[in-house]
Structure 1
Amino acid sequence: MSLNRHIAVIGGGLTGLSSAFHLSRRFPDIFITLFEKQHRLGGWVQSECVDVSPSQQMVLEAGPRTIRPNAKSILELVHLLGLKDSLITVPRTAAAARNRFLCIPEHEQIQSLPASLSSLVVSPFRSILLPAILREPFRQANRAHGSQDESFDSFMTRRFGKDLARTLGSALVHGIYAADSRKLSVRAAFPLLWEAEERGWGSVILGLLRSSQEEDLADYEMGDIPRNMNGVSVFSFRNGMSTLTDALKNYLVQQPNVKILSDTPVTSLDVSETKIQINQGMLKPTHVVSTIPLLALKSLLPSLPHLTANPSSSVTLINLVFSVPPNTFHPPGFGYLIPRPQDDYSLSMPGILGVIFDSCSLSSQDTPTTNNSFTKITVMLGGPHPLTEDHTRIPVVISHLEKHLGAKLPDPVLTRTHHHDKCIPTLTLGHVDRISELKEVLRRGVWRGRLEIIGAGVGGVSVADCVDAGKRVGSLW
C-alpha cells in the first residue's frame, strides 16, 4: 500500500478497534481514522466496577463476560497489549466449568447437565441424550441432495432427534445468539457441525472425531500466553471485558498515524471511480472498513445487496447483587439456559433466556476475594421472546428465579438493567451465499475492493470472531 493511502474505519466497537489496531501495525506509515457515533468506545463490551459495601467491590458486565481459551485472536491481543497480569482463569476442574444446568419450561426447576459419561447414565436428560448420541453414528446420511443450508433446529432434528434439538439445541442458540434455532442457519452459525457431517460421511459425531489435526498457530503472536491456558475452561480479566477495549483504545491514541473521532457519526458515504467521501467530503479516504450493523450501513449505501436480509435480536441483561454468600440460593456452577417453550414463544412466558452465576464463575473479579458475603448473577431476557415492560420488572424476574431455583431469594442490594436493541444478528438461511455475493459486488463494482464489510452481521458473533475479523481486514490492500 502506497504512503498516500488513508483508511477510514467506521464503528468503534470491538471489531472496529481490532481493525484499527491491526491495520496500524501492518501499515505504520498509513493514516487511519476511526469514526464512532457514541462518546464511549467498545460497543456492547461494557464493564462497571461498583461498591456494594464499604469493603466490597464487584465488576458488573453489561455485555460479554468470558472467552474460550482457544480464542487465539484474543490471546494475541493479551500478549501484544501486555494484559497477561490482568487475566483471570476458570480451570476445567472448577464447579463453574463442570456444572451447567437447563431449566425446561414445562418443569420450571433447573436440572444438571451431565459433565461426564458416568454422569450421563444417571442424568435426568439420559432418555434424550443417550439414544440420540448412541444412534447418530449409525443413522444413514440424510442431508437432502443438493442442500446448501438449513436451520440449526432442522439439522439437529435430522441427526439427533426433535427432543434433543428443542432442549439442548434451542438452549445453546439462546445462549449464543439469543435467537430462535428454527431461523438460524447452521452453515453460517455453526460451520464446524456442517463440515463435520460432510467429513463423517453423514455422521456429525464421526466427523468431529476425524477433525483432531493440530491447527497452524504461526499466524498469531501469542508469546507464552497459551501456556496460561493449559487446563482452562474460560477466562476473562480482573476488571472485566472493558480491559480489552480500553487497552486497544489506549494503544491507538498513542499511534501518530491513528486518529479517533468519537461523537462523530458517519452520515454519508459516497464513492466514485476516482474518490471516496465521508460526511460530504469531511474525509476522503482511499479505503474504508465498515464494522457497523448491516442495517445501519444500508442507510449509507442503499444500493448494496443483502444488507437487510437478517433480523437482529434485542436482549435485556439484568445484573442482580444479593447480600448473601455465593452458592447460597443456587448450586455451584456456571448457570443455566432455558430451551424454547413447547408451545412456542408468547407473552405469557417469562421471557428469560438464561441466568449466569457470576460469583461462581468470575469470583476473582470481586474484592476482597476472601470472606465474600455477596452474590451476583446476571439474567438474560428477550431474543425471540416478546417482552413487555412488566417482564423486566425486578420483582417479576426474581419470582421466576425462585421457581427455577426452588429457593426464596432475598431482596437485591443492587440492580442494573441494560436494554440492548438489535445487538445480535440472526444469521438466517442462505447467509453464507449472500455474503459471498456481497463481497463479489465490492470486489468488482465501483468500490473495486476499496470497501470491506466485517463484524457480527457478516461472520461470527463471539468476541474472538469480531477480533479475528479485524485482524484479517485489508489483507489484500
Structure 2
Amino acid sequence: MAPTSIAVLGGGLTGLSAAFYLTRRFPTARIAVYNAEARFGGWVRSDRVRVSYTNHDGKPENADVVLEAGPRTLRPNARSVLELIHLLNLSSTLLTVPKTSHAARNRFLYIPEYGGLCRLPSAPLDLFTLAGPSRHNIGRLLLSSVAREPFKRRNKRFGLDDESVDDFMTRRFGSEWSRIFASSLVHGIYAADARRLSLRSAFPSLWEAEERGNGSVVAGILKRSPPLTSGEGPTSYELGDLQDTMRDVSVYSFRDGIGTLTDALVRYLREHPNVDMYGGVRIMGLRINPRGKQFELITSAMETMLPTHVVSTLPLFRLHSLLTPAIRLPHLTANAYTSVTVVNLVFPRPPSSSSPLHPEGFGYLVPRPPDGYFNDSNRLGILGCVFDSSSTANQDSSDAVVKMTVMLGGPYASCSLPQVNVSDLLSELSTHLGRTLPEPVLVKVRHNQHCIPLYSVGHLQRMEELRHVLASEPWVGRMEVIGAGVEGVSVGDCVEAGRNAGRFWS
C-alpha cells in the first residue's frame, strides 16, 4: 500500500534528509517530522559568534567566527550530499579546500614516545622521506608494515565473518601499527576503542580489499575498481556542476558551517504544504493498530497520531524504549554509544615575528596510549585537535584570530563528558604543540552525550535480522529503521540513508 501519511521520528540530518526525499517520492502524502528538541539538526550545529580581542597595536577589535559542535568538514566523495547541495541551491555558499593546500597535505598524530607531533604521509613518496633511521620513527613503521603486508600469508581464520578493527589491523600489519594508526583513525571518526569496533561495519572496504587481494589488503586496494561517476550505475545523482567543482578538492564546508545544510532542509520542509514540523515534541510510545493498517504514535503532548508508514531515525536504544513487549524488535540495544566533549578555542593571532600557534595543516589525532585508556598518560582524554583556521580558513570575518577545536572523551571512560578545566587543557595543548598558548578570547564547551554508535562485532548480521523482522508480520515493511545507529555515521551515510527511505513502498 502506498503511504498516505508518513511519520519521521527524529529531526537530525537523517530525519530531515528522509523527509526531503519522501516529499519527492510521495508528493501527495502527508509527512510529519517529530523532534524531541525544539531545534532541528541533531548533532549538526554551527553557530556564528562575535569575539572581542586586542590587536597588535593595543586597540580593541571584533571578529565573527563560526563554531562547530559536530562535523566541520565534508569529503567530496559522498555524492548524496553533493546532490542535496545542488537540489537546495547551496553551491554559492560552499568553501572548498584544494588538495594542494597545507590543510590537505599536512595531518599529524601526537605520539609522545615517537617525539610528539608526527606528520603523516600525504603521498607515496612521503613514505620514504619520512622513514628515517630511528626505531621510533612513524614513517619507518608505516613503510615497513605496508611493504611487508603483501608478502604475509593469508591469515584470516576459516569461517570468520567479522572481527574488530584492531584484530584485523594487528593480523595484517602488526600490533604497534594497529595501536597507532588504527586507533587514531577510529578516534577521529567514531571516538571509540578500535578493539571494540566492527571492521565490516565501520570500514567494509578494507574487508573487501583483503578478499579481492587473496589475503592481502594492500594488493586488494591496488586492484580497486574505478569509482562510478554521475549518471553511471544503478543509482544516479543530480549533481549539476558540482562534480567538476569538487574535482581537485580535499574537503569542503560552507561559509556559515555545516549547519547550512540542515538549516536549508528545515526551511524547505517548513515551506512544503504537505509537511508538518513538530519541534519539542517527543514520541512516548509506538504501537501497531489492531486492524493492521496504521501505527499509533503517542506524543509528549498526549496526542495519538495515526500514520500509515513510519521512518525511525532515532538512536536504536531510544526506539527500543518506545515499543511494547509484544512488538519488540531485535538487537536495538546491542551497541553502546560514545560521548564526546567538543571544546572550541579562539585565540588572538600572534604577530608575524612570533612562531605560529600550530603547524600549518588540518590538525592531529592522538592514538591509544601504550598502556591503554585507564591510566594517566592522557589524563584529559584528548582524542584530537582540528586547526580550524587552516581547514576552513575563510569562514571567519578576520584572520587576526586563530580557531581550534579539541575533542575529548570517547573510550576514556573516566573522562566521559568531563567538566573541562580550561587551564589544564591549555597546558596539555601547549605540550602537544611545543609552545605556550596565549589566553583564549573565547572558549565554548559542548557535551555530546551518546552521540556516536559503536558498532560491535557482528553488527551487519544483526541489522540484516532486524530488516527481516521489519519486513514480516506485523510490520510488513511499513516501518523503516535507518540512521547512524544502523548503517554509517558520516554525513554522507546519513544523507544516503534518508535518500533511500521509502524506496520499496509501493
Q: In which range does the TM-score fall when normalised by the shorter chain?
A: over 0.9
- Please say if residues 136 and 204 of structure 1, whose CA atoms lie closer than 8 Å, have aligned partners that are also in contact: yes
Could you tell me which of 295, 303, 307 is aligned with 2:317?
295
Partner residue, 1:286:
308
CA distance in 2 between partners of 1:232 and 1:89 (Å): 6
| 1:319 matched residue in structure 2 | 344
- Aligned 8 A contact 1:391 1:397 in 2: no
Matched, 1:415 2:446: no
In structure 1, which of residues 86, 89, 96 is the aligned counterpart of residue 93 of structure 2? 86
**More displaced stretch, 154-163 vs 311-320:** 154-163
Matching of residue 193 in structure 1 with residue 206 in structure 2 = yes
Note if 1:148 corresponds to 2:161. Answer: yes
* Pairing 1:76–2:93 present: no
Alpha-carbon distance between aligned partners in 1 of 2:164 and 2:251, rounded to the nearest angstrom: 28
Say if 2:278 is the partner of 1:261.
yes
398, 410, 413: which one pairs with 1:383? 410
Asked if 1:437 corresponds to 2:459, the answer is no
Structure 2 residue identity aligned to 1:276: F
The residue aligned with 2:391 is 361
The code of the aligned residue for 2:381 comes to: G
Distance 1:475 1:223 in 2: 23
**Secondary structure of the residue that 1:79 maps to in structure 2?**
helix
- Which residue does 1:350 correspond to in 2? 380
Aligned to 1:131: 144
Contact 1:318 1:380 in 2 (8 A): yes
Deviation at 1:105, TM superposition (A): 4.4
TM-score for both structures, normalised by structure 1: 0.96
In structure 1, runs of 5+ residues without a counterpart are: none
Shift of 1:391: 6.4
Counterpart residue number, 2:55 = none
RMSD: 1.5
Equivalent in the alignment of 1:469: 497
Q: Residue 317 of structure 1 aligns to which amino acid in structure 2?
A: V
Does residue 277 of the first structure (1) align with residue 296 of the second (2)?
yes
Alignment coverage as a number of residue pairs: 473
Q: Which of 418, 422, 428 is the equivalent residue of 1:400?
A: 428
1:180-227 superposed Cα distances (whole Å, 9 cap, x missing partner): 000000000000111111111111111112123331532211111111
Contact 2:470 2:480 in 1 (8 A): yes
- In the superposition, relative to structure 1, how do residues 51 and 440 fare at CA in structure 2: closer, same or farther (>3 Å)? same
Contact 2:127 2:140 (C-alpha < 8 Å) held by counterparts: no
CA distance in 2 between partners of 1:201 and 1:41 (Å):
46
Contact 2:347-2:401 at 8 Å conserved across structures? yes
Identity of aligned residues (%): 51
Q: Distance in 1 between matches of 2:195 and 2:341?
A: 21
- What letter is aligned with 1:291? T
Say if 1:108 and 1:404, in contact at 8 Å, map to a contact too. Answer: no
Distance 2:223 2:419 in 1: 45
Of 58, 63, 81 in structure 2, the residue corresponding to residue 56 of structure 1 is: 63
What corresponds to 2:117 in structure 1? 110
Give me the whole-angstrom Cα distance separating, in 1, the residues matched to 2:156 and 2:444. 45
Is the contact between residue 390 and residue 396 of structure 1 (CA under 8 Å) also seen in structure 2? no
2:309 pairs with 1:310? no
C-alpha distance in 1, partners of 2:362/2:249? 14
1:139 is displaced (CA, Å) by 1.3
TM-score, scaled relative to structure 2: 0.91
Unpaired stretches in structure 2, ≥5 consecutive residues: 53-60, 131-136
Q: Report the Cα offset of residue 392 of structure 1.
A: 1.9
Moved over 3 A (4+): 105-108, 387-391
Q: Is the 8 A contact 2:293 2:308 kept in 1?
A: no
Quote how far apart the aligned CAs of 1:20 are: 0.1
